[in-house]
Amino acid sequence: MSIKPSIKHIFIGFFLLATMASKAETFPDRAISLIVPNPPGGVVDTSARLVSDPLSQLLHQPVVVENKAGGSGNIAYQQVAKGAKDGYSILVSYSGYHIANPILQDKLPWNVKDLTPVGLITIATNVITVHPSIPANNLKEFITFAKANPGKLNYASQGNGSVSHIGTEIFKQQTSVDMVHVPYKGSGAAIQDVLAGQVQVFITTPPSVIGHIQTGKLKALAVTGKVRHPLMPNVPTVAEAGLPGFQLESWVALYVASGTPVAIIDKLSNSLKTSLEMPEVKQRADAAGVELRYLPPVEMTKLLNQEISSWSKAIKSANIKLD
């Protein structure tokens, strides 16, 4: 007598569940790859290397950083999103790729739903800088000056669709100021033109401009995170400077392919949390100029939804398009 198809399906389901549970219990039993969509040396690569050794110690398997740059991050994203749902390939990426790419690009080889957050690693604040010729010594004075001179100020970005571009557009929308966008290919050329006064405003991460701020070649009006930057203790946050509704932080997080067993995601996330609590990791992060900040998967999902909503509004309102 043959078994009814429905019963067969039940048996298959139980078998698959048992197999997944077994894999979760023995995870990991081989090396894990941290897939980075950026070249070595940047904040994403640095964040990955901050946690690779601690994760290796905690998970008792090698955790290796693999740089898969190119395609605006999409090569690495596709590899993880369309790969095995087993936790052995983990994407390490920053908010710019994760939020902006799906909004700016019509045809992606991956979907946001293809990836599940494991946890937040690091946060990088930004700083609002202006050329010394701007007659403003604080954020309120700058906003007043910009409103009195609509369309006369230029702001730099690292390129169309970059964090500095979208972040400044959000700033414009929240303050009702009118500034002209001047895109560059990276921070280097942008900073040179801001120093020369050809462009007057640049919102960017502190490492690239902090030396110029300290020598007075640029004025820092506010940092865009929740707390002051340790290397610029006299520069207020945007909230302290009178603009509590604006916040711009670039963050780096871990993701795995959606469908990865929850037990594996939880094990990875808990190990990440423990890694970020290690004193030696904190010391290395301080030396690299990045802030450690852990968020579990549920909180990461909330953050993603909030940022996608905010960025989508800014991108559509400013009609931002990729080059």
Residue pLDDT, tens place only, 20-44? 555 678 999 999 999 999 888 778 8
Q: Residue 233: pLDDT above 70? A: yes
Fold identical between 5-123+250-311 and 127-223?
Answer: yes
Percent of the chain residues past pLDDT 70, beyond the cut: 92
Check if the beta carbon of residue 194 is closer than 8 Å to that of residue 129.
Answer: yes
Instruction: Please state, rounded to an integer, the average pLDDT across all residues of the chain.
Output: 90
Mean local confidence (pLDDT), 189-202: 95
Domain boundaries, the chain: 5-123+250-311, 127-223
Structure tokens at 275: 């890694």
Q: Report the pLDDT value the prediction gives residue 1, as an integer from 0 to 100.
A: 46
Contacts of 308 (CB under 8 A, 6+ apart): 99, 102, 103, 112
Q: Which band of pLDDT confidence, cut at 50, 70 and 90, is reported for residue 243?
A: very high
Q: Which band of pLDDT confidence, cut at 50, 70 and 90, is reported for residue 231?
A: confident
pLDDT (tens digit per residue) in 167-185: 999 999 999 999 999 998 8
Q: Which band of pLDDT confidence, cut at 50, 70 and 90, is reported for residue 8?
A: low
Check if the beta carbon of residue 150 is closer than 8 Å to that of residue 178.
Answer: yes
Mean local confidence (pLDDT), 241-257: 93
Q: Which band of pLDDT confidence, cut at 50, 70 and 90, is reported for residue 3?
A: very low
Residue bearing tokens 């997944």? 20
Candidates 105, 42, 57, 52; CA nearest to 77 is 105
pLDDT (tens digit per residue) in 296-315: 999 999 999 988 888 888 88
Q: Report the pLDDT value the prediction gives residue 10, as an integer from 0 to 100.
A: 60
C-alpha span between 210 and 19 (Å, rounded): 53
Q: Which band of pLDDT confidence, cut at 50, 70 and 90, is reported for residue 13?
A: low
Q: Report the pLDDT value the prediction gives residue 278, as an integer from 0 to 100.
A: 97
Q: Which band of pLDDT confidence, cut at 50, 70 and 90, is reported for residue 128?
A: very high
pLDDT (tens digit per residue) in 56-72: 999 999 999 999 988 88
Task: Rounding to the nearest 10 degrees, give the CA dihedral for residues 56, 60, 66, 72.
Answer: -80
CATH architecture for residues 5-123+250-311: 3-Layer(aba) Sandwich (3.40)
Check if the beta carbon of residue 207 is closer than 8 Å to that of residue 289.
Answer: yes
Output the CA–CA distances (angstroms, integers) from residue 97 to 81, 91, 101, 154, in the order listed. Answer: 14, 12, 5, 25
Q: Report the pLDDT value the prediction gives residue 54, as an integer from 0 to 100.
A: 98
Q: Report the pLDDT value the prediction gives residue 23, as an integer from 0 to 100.
A: 63
pLDDT (tens digit per residue) in 197-216: 999 999 998 878 989 999 99
Output the CA–CA distances (angstroms, integers) from residue 261 to 77, 226, 248, 292, in the order listed. Answer: 19, 34, 33, 26
CATH architecture for residues 127-223: 3-Layer(aba) Sandwich (3.40)
* H-assigned helices in the chain: 5-26, 43-59, 74-81, 95, 101-104, 139-148, 163-175, 187-196, 210-214, 262-276, 279-288, 297-318
Q: Which amino acid belongs to residue 188?
A: G
Q: What is the DSSP letter of 146?
A: H
